[in-house]
Amino acid sequence: MDKRIKVFGFSGSLRKHSHNGALLRAAQLLAPEQMEIEIFELNDIPFYNEDIERAGLPESVKIFKEKIAAADSLLIASPEYNYSFTGVLKNAIDWASRPPAPSPLSKKQYAIMGVSGGISGTMRSQLHFRQVATAVNMTAMNKPEVYITLAKQKFNENGELTDQPTLEHLKTFLKSFYEWTTINK
């Protein structure tokens, strides 16, 4: 591992104490030395509206798109809502994909991970996200996968990931993500 990479991370959850936000913060701490992960909050991105787009991109959207373009890859964390990923995440992808050519998402490498309070571990959410990512021409790291179940048992009251097997799996995932990003650049 000698090539430094920039990873741009964001969560599909706006909740202040989101486990998915906490997962991104854990990834920052556990990332390989040559991987820098910057986390972006989607809170200020407005609902997509073509009238707003035509009047001029909101500053939050400009920054979001610039950071996507500048990153070597994207790290996305999202909960599962109604067997899918969140509207917040879909909205951000909709903004970033406009206009279709050139979109900073096209050919952008990404990995997705997620935390749920139940037993699905966000499997359906991630599968549905991959469908949308294909439509905007993003490139997924397929394995390994991170589906964290039973969040309250794996994160402490301060939002820190404390479950040792999950920490080890996240380290393996991040090492693989680093290698996959550098090989496919």
Beta-carbon contacts of 28 under 8 Å, excluding residues fewer than 6 positions away, are 9, 37, 39
For residues 159 and 25, the answer to whether their CB atoms sit within 8 Å is: yes
Per-residue pLDDT of the chain (185 residues; tens, 9 = 90+): 579 999 999 999 999 999 999 999 999 999 999 999 999 999 999 999 999 999 999 999 999 999 999 999 999 999 999 999 999 999 999 999 998 778 999 999 999 999 998 888 899 999 999 999 999 999 999 999 999 999 999 999 999 999 999 999 999 999 999 999 999 77
Task: For residues 120 and 81, give the distance between their C-alpha atoms in angstroms, rounded to a whole number.
Answer: 11
Q: Quick one: pLDDT at residue 51?
A: 96
**DSSP conformational letter for 55:** H
C-alpha closest to that of 43 among 22, 23, 25, 64: 64
Domain-wise residue ranges, the chain? 5-183
* Domain 5-183: assigned CATH number: 3.40.50.360
C-alpha closest to that of 29 among 43, 12, 9: 9
